[in-house]
Amino acid sequence: MRASERLIRYAKIHTTSDENNSEHTPSTRRQFELSRVLEAELKELGFQQVSVDEHAYVYGMLPASPGCEGRPTVALIAHLDTAPDYPGENVRPQLVPDYDGGEIPLGTSGRVLSPEMFPDLRNRIGHTLITTDGTTLLGADDKAGISEIITACEEILREALPHGGIAVCFTPDEEIGHGAELLKLDRLGADYGYTVDGSEIETVNCETFNAAAAELKFTGVSVHPGDAKNRMKNAARIAMEFDGLLPAAERPEHTEDHEGFFHLTEMQGSTEQAVLRYIIRDHDAARFDVRKAIMEQAAKHLNEKYGEGTVTLCLRDQYRNMEEQLREHPEAVERAEKAIRSVGLEPRRIPIRGGTDGAQLSFRGLPCPNLGTGGAAFHGPYEHISVEDMDTMTEILKKLLTED
C-alpha cells in the first residue's frame, strides 16, 4: 500500500485534540480509535512489542536484521492528533490527478486552492495532489508522517533490506504541546530519533522555537452604565488595553525566519470577566525570557493602575529550542542529510517556526531532528500534499533506516 492510500484512510478518522482538556492525556478519547488501527497494522506487518498504552501512545519495534546488530537503533515518531484550530471531523479528501498548475476548487465550499496564495503548487505540476473539500483540514499534519513511516517499514520488510533496530512511536496531543511528555524512552531503546512532522521533504529541522502559553484573567466591576462613573471597571476593555501594551509589530503576521512573536489565540469577555490566551515564541532563549518579562510587566502595570487582582497571569513553558541539544549530536543530522541526497535532493537546514515532539525528546535525552512529510498549508482548509512527494519521503525513510 502506498503512503498516500494510508493517509486518505487515516484522514477520515477524527483525532482532533482539545487544549481546554489538556490536563488529561489524550485530551480527546477519539484519538484511541486511530491508535488501535495503527496497533493492528504494526502487528500485521510483523512488528514486535506492539502496544497501545493508557495514554494512546502506540509503540512497536523491529529488531536489527542478522548481521546489523551493531548498527544504531533509530526511532521514527509522528503524532496522531490534528490541530484544534480548524474542524477535523468528516474529512473528505479529494484527489487531483495530473495537476496542471491552475486553481483547484475545494469541493463545493467556494474556496479555491491557488498557486498565487500557495507558490509550492508550482513545483507540483504533473503530480497527483490530495486536498480537502474546503470544509475541514486534511490531517496530513501528521497523518502523512504516520503513513510514510509505516509504508517505509513495510517496504523494508517486503524487500528484506538489511537494517539496524527500528523503533516507532505514534503520539497523542502534539498539537497542544503534550505529545512527548509521557513517551517512554525506555520502550523505544533508540540511540537517536526523527519526528516526521514537517513540510518540504528535503528539509531537516534542527531548530524550534522556545515556547510558552499565557492565560490572563481580568476581573472587573459591573454596574449599570447609567450610574457607572467612578464605579465601573470594564474587564473587556482592560483586556484590550493589555493587548495594546504588547509590541504591535511582533505578531505572527509581521514576522518570519528567526523572528519571535506574541500571538493572541483566544479572547472572551464581558464587563465583569475577560480572558485572553496567548502563545509566546522565540528561537533565542534570552529574547524568549524578555518576552515573558514583557507579559509580566504589562500585568503588573494594569494591577497598579486598576487595583491588585484585576489581572491574573499564568505562564506555562511548553518546549525549548532543540538546537542546543542537537549541536552535540551531529551524526543524527548528517545521517538524515545523507538519506535525502540518496534520492537526488539537496538537503536544507531550516528553523521550524513552531515545535515538534522532537524538541521535548531532545531535552529528555533522545536527539531528534525533524523531517518533512511533503504537506503544506497545515491547520486549515487549504492543506494539501503530493502523492509523489509522499512516495519520495517514504524512500528517504527507507534509506535512513537501511544505510549504514
Pair 103, 180 in one domain: yes
Collapsing DSSP to helix, strand or coil, 340 comes out as helix
Encode pLDDT of 27-61 as tens digits: 999 999 999 999 999 999 999 999 999 999 999 99
Burial of 15 (0-12, 13-18, 19+ CB in 10 A): buried
Pair 273, 334 in one domain: no
Contact 370, 194 (CB under 8 A): yes
Q: Give the pLDDT confidence score for residue 382 in this predicted structure.
A: 98
Pair 169, 147 in one domain: yes
81 given a catalytic annotation: yes
Pair 359, 346 in one domain: yes
Collapsing DSSP to helix, strand or coil, 238 comes out as helix
Encode pLDDT of 135-179 as tens digits: 999 999 999 999 999 999 999 999 999 999 999 999 999 998 787
Phi, psi of 95 (to 5 degrees): -95, 135
Parallel/antiparallel/unpaired status of strands 210-219 and 311-319: antiparallel
- Set 174, 175, 282, 383: catalytic member: 174
Pair 329, 345 in one domain: yes
Provide the CB-side half-sphere exposure for 347 (13 A, CA).
20
* 282, amino acid identity: D
Pair 266, 134 in one domain: no
Please say which residue of 266, 292, 319 terminates a domain. 319
Contact 127, 99 (CB under 8 A): yes
Q: Which three cell numbers stand for residue 113?
A: 486552492
Please say which residue of 270, 303, 319 terminates a domain. 319
Q: Give the pLDDT confidence score for residue 22 in this predicted structure.
A: 77
Parallel/antiparallel/unpaired status of strands 261-269 and 273-282: antiparallel
Pair 170, 222 in one domain: no
Encode pLDDT of 113-130 as tens digits: 999 999 999 999 999 999
Q: What is the DSSP letter of 127?
A: S
Question: Cα(198)–Cα(355) distance, rounded to whole angstroms?
Answer: 10
Pair 7, 152 in one domain: yes
CATH number for position 311: 3.30.70.360
404 given a catalytic annotation: no
Burial of 44 (0-12, 13-18, 19+ CB in 10 A): exposed
Burial of 143 (0-12, 13-18, 19+ CB in 10 A): buried
Collapsing DSSP to helix, strand or coil, 391 comes out as helix
| Domain housing 312 | 210-319
Q: Give the pLDDT confidence score for residue 274 in this predicted structure.
A: 97
CATH number for position 64: 3.40.630.10
Pair 348, 313 in one domain: no
Collapsing DSSP to helix, strand or coil, 296 comes out as helix
- Set 81, 133, 202, 282: catalytic member: 81
Count, residues in the chain: 404
Please say which residue of 268, 291, 319 terminates a domain. 319
Question: Cα(167)–Cα(368) distance, rounded to whole angstroms?
Answer: 13
Pair 204, 215 in one domain: no
Parallel/antiparallel/unpaired status of strands 384-386 and 129-131: antiparallel
Pair 201, 80 in one domain: yes
Where is 334: in which H helix or E strand? helix 330-341
Question: Cα(135)–Cα(122) distance, rounded to whole angstroms?
Answer: 24
- The pTM (predicted TM-score) of the whole model is 0.85
Per-chain mean pLDDT for the chain: 95
Pair 129, 187 in one domain: yes
Question: Cα(70)–Cα(362) distance, rounded to whole angstroms?
Answer: 23
User: Total domain count for the chain?
Assistant: 2
* CA 303 to mean position of chain CA atoms: 36
Q: What is the mean pLDDT of each run of 10 residues along the chain (404 residues)?
A: 97 95 91 98 97 97 96 97 95 98 97 97 97 98 98 98 98 88 93 95 93 96 86 95 97 94 96 96 95 98 97 93 89 96 96 83 93 96 98 98 89
